[in-house]
Amino acid sequence: MSLHAQDVPNAANFLPSPPSSQSYKFKNDSAQYELGKELRTTARGEKARSDMSWQLNTYLSNFSEIMGVELSVKNTPNIYELCNYGMTQATKSIEASQAARFSWRPYARFGEASLITSSEEQYRSTSSYPSAQAVYGWLLGILLSEVNSDRQDQLLKRAYDMGYSSVIAGYNWQSDTEIGRDLASAVLANIHSHNGFLSLVRYAQAEFNKKAGTRASDDPFLYANALPDPTKYLPDPPAEGTAQYEYDVKTYNESKTYRDTSRGDMAVSDADASLENMIRIFSPLLGVTISSSNTPEIYTLLSRIFPVATQSSSEAKEHYNRRRPYVVFDEHTGYPVEEDELRNNGAYPSGHSLLGWLVGLTLSEINPANMESIMSRAYEFGQSRVILGYHWQSDVTTGRYVAGAAFGRLHLESDFLNQLERAIKEFKSTSAIHDAVATSEESEASAPVYTLEGHRLDSRPTRPGIYIRRGKKVIIR
C-alpha cells in the first residue's frame, strides 16, 4: 500500500503559502505566538510540553484515556498498524510540503527560547509550514474517530488541542496549524483510496470492539446524531478585541477588493451550492462528466453527501449564532440576492466551505491522482464566501475542519463504504474508456479545455495561463 512521495498531497500545490511578514495574517500569527508564551507556565503549558514528541507512541498514549483502551503495539496491534500507516503517509506529505515552502519557526525568527529547548537545534532549519504536530494530531484524531465513534467529539477536541500545543511551544505559527489540519484531511482522503486500507480500518474497529466489549455501530447512513458535534471540539468564534477577530476584519476588508475582478465573478458563481453547480465545477477536475446518466454511482454518492454537510453545521450555526460580516458592518455583499435570507443565519462554521471541502475529499478518494487540483478548487470554493462578505475567514477555516471530521465519520457507515466502492469502480471503468479514446496527440490536443472555475472553452485558449484538460492542470504559454 505504500506510495512514493510524489503521490502524496503536497500543501504547496493546493493550500496558501506562509503569510508574508507585512500581512494581516502574520500579525495575527505573531499575536497568537505571544499569547501562547503566556500559557507556558500554566497547566496548559505542561500539556503542550507532553504533546511535543512527534512520536506515535506519545500520540496514542494521549488518546488512550479518551478511547477507554490502552493503545499500544502490544495491546492493540491492529489500531497501532492503522495509525502507523496514516502517520507514515502524513510524514511524506509533511516533508514534501516543507521542502516546497520554507518558513522560519517562531522561536528561530525572534531569536527566543521555545518551550522545548532541547529540540531547537534539530528543528531550527526545518520549515514550520505546515505544522507536523497539527497534521499528526488531526489525522490520528479522525482515524480513531472511525474506530470509536462514541468518543468522536472528545477525540477531535484533543486532536485540535494538539495542534495548538505547537503554537504554545513556539514551534509553529497558528497559520501553520490551520494548514496542517487541512493537509491532514487531504492525507485522509488519499490513504482511504489505497488498496487494502479499508481492511485496516475494519480490523481496527473489530479489535477495539472486542477490547471495549462493544458492538460495531450499525447506525443508518447520514443520521445527524451520528456525526461529530463541532461545538464539542471547535473553539468559540473569535471575540471582538482579539487579534484573531482583528485578522478576520482586515481579511474581510481586503477580500472585498476582489469583487470587481474575475476572482469575484468566480465567487458569485460559487454562491450556488447546488448539486448541479458542484458537478459543473468538479467534473473537469475529476476527469469524467458527472451526471445521473453518465456516472449514476458517483452522482448518487454526491447527492447523499449533501445532507451530511448540512447536518454537520446546522446545530453549530444555531449554537454560536455568529453575525455575518455584512450584518456587522451594515454593508452590501458581493451577491445581494441572499442577504435577507441569511441575515439572521449563523456564520460559524461556514456551510459552503464545509460542503466544498467534503465534496473535494470524496472526489479525491475516487481519483487520488487528481487530488491536488480537486482540493485546490475546493479550498477556493470556501474562500469565495469571504470575498462575497458572507463569512469571516475563521468561519471558512473551521468549515474545512468540520468537513474533515465528517468525512472520517462517514467511513464508519457500511452504506457509505459500499456506495463509495461502486463509485470508484464506475470511475475506473469510465475513465478507462475515456483514456482509450484519447491515445494520440491529436485527440489530446482536441480534448475540451476548462478554466479553473470550471467553464468549458469553445476553442484552444488564446491567453497564457493555467487550465484544466482531462482533469489535470495544463499550462498554456
CA angle 66, 312, 223 (to 5 degrees): 85
352 counts as catalytic: yes
Nearby residues of 340 by Cβ (< 8 Å), 6 or more positions away: none
In 3D space, the residue among 17, 183, 166 whose CA is nearest the CA of residue 89 turns out to be 183
Catalytic residue among 51, 377, 395, 469: 395
Instruction: Please name every residue paired with 472 in a beta bridge, in sequence order, or none if there are none.
Output: 469
Phi then psi for residue 205, to 5 deg, are -60, -45
Mapped onto helix, strand or coil, the DSSP state of residue 129 is coil
332 counts as catalytic: no
Nearby residues of 321 by Cβ (< 8 Å), 6 or more positions away: 346
Contact indicator for 93, 11 with CB cutoff of 8 Å = yes
In 3D space, the residue among 209, 75, 203, 54 whose CA is nearest the CA of residue 134 turns out to be 54
Catalytic residue among 192, 391, 409, 469: 391
Would strands 465-469 and 449-450 be described as parallel, antiparallel, or unpaired?
antiparallel
Mapped onto helix, strand or coil, the DSSP state of residue 450 is strand
Residue 54, judged by CB atoms within 10 A of its CB (0-12, 13-18, 19+), counts as middle
Catalytic residue among 105, 352, 411, 469: 352
For cell 472520517, name the residue.
Answer: 408
391 counts as catalytic: yes
319 counts as catalytic: no
Catalytic residue among 385, 400, 469, 470: 385
Grid coordinates representing 397 are 477555516
Q: At what angle do helices 174-192 and 152-169 cross, to 10 degrees?
A: 140
Contact indicator for 188, 159 with CB cutoff of 8 Å = no
Grid coordinates representing 286 are 475529476
Would strands 472-476 and 449-450 be described as parallel, antiparallel, or unpaired?
unpaired
Active site members:
352, 385, 391, 395
